[in-house]
Amino acid sequence: MTTPPITPELEALVARLVDARVEARLQQSGAPATNRASLLVFSGDMDRLFAALTVALASAASGMEVSMYFTFWGLTALRKRKTFAGKSLGEKVVAMMLPSGPASAGTSQWHLGGIGPRFFKHLMQRRHVETLPNMIALAQEMGVRMIACEMSMDVMGIRRDELLDGLVYGGAATYVADAAGAKITLFV
């Protein structure tokens, strides 16, 4: 088979066909990355939560869609109270041991039996840094999607009425669907 001479018309035809195929392939491969930041918040440490919320707020302020998936220790950030009634012994132990909310979260380093968090809170207050509960409320107000991991809640016996209002409840696939279409993904 001999190659036909490449005329401008043939070249234009090939270019059109290639464009059409690329377009079709792109549509098949699912949604392209949206302008989204997706954070997997595993830690319940005060300092790490600060980092996560700071990035989430800055992303939302920069016009990005933000999704935060809270799992295991991270659920601390979403707690508004702790309840004991109707829980098993194991669940009561968890309720007793876990901080009752982001305001009483410990630090990942220099915890020193609770002196560390108070020391850092004092330093932050002096510099007028926003408190964690305020940052979380602001993030919700700015439309940050907050998802609570239902398996962690189930394991630790955390009930929906112990968590903030306006949350989404889901599992790993909910996180994956958000992260797959995100330009920024962080594990905190």
Partner 1 sequence: MANLELDCRGMNCPMPIVRVSRAVRNIAIGDTITVMADDPSFPPDIEAWVRMTGQTLRSITSAGTTRTAVIERCT
- By CB under 8 A, name the binding residues for partner 1: 54, 57-58, 60-64, 127-130, 138, 142
Beta carbon nearer to partner 1, 66 or 95: 66
CB of 37 to partner 1, least distance (A): 11
- Closest Cα to residue 78, out of 128, 152, 129? 152
Beta carbon nearer to partner 1, 5 or 63: 63
Whole-number Å distance between alpha carbons of 87 and 93: 9
Contact 148, 70 (CB under 8 A): yes
CB of 152 to partner 1, least distance (A): 27
Beta carbon nearer to partner 1, 98 or 135: 135
CA dihedral 91, 93, 97, 102 (to 10 degrees): 20
CB of 58 to partner 1, least distance (A): 4
DSSP codes, 115-149: HHHHHHHHHHHHTTPPPHHHHHHHHHHTT-EEEEE
CB of 156 to partner 1, least distance (A): 31
Beta carbon nearer to partner 1, 34 or 54: 54
What token pair was written down for 128? 């007028």
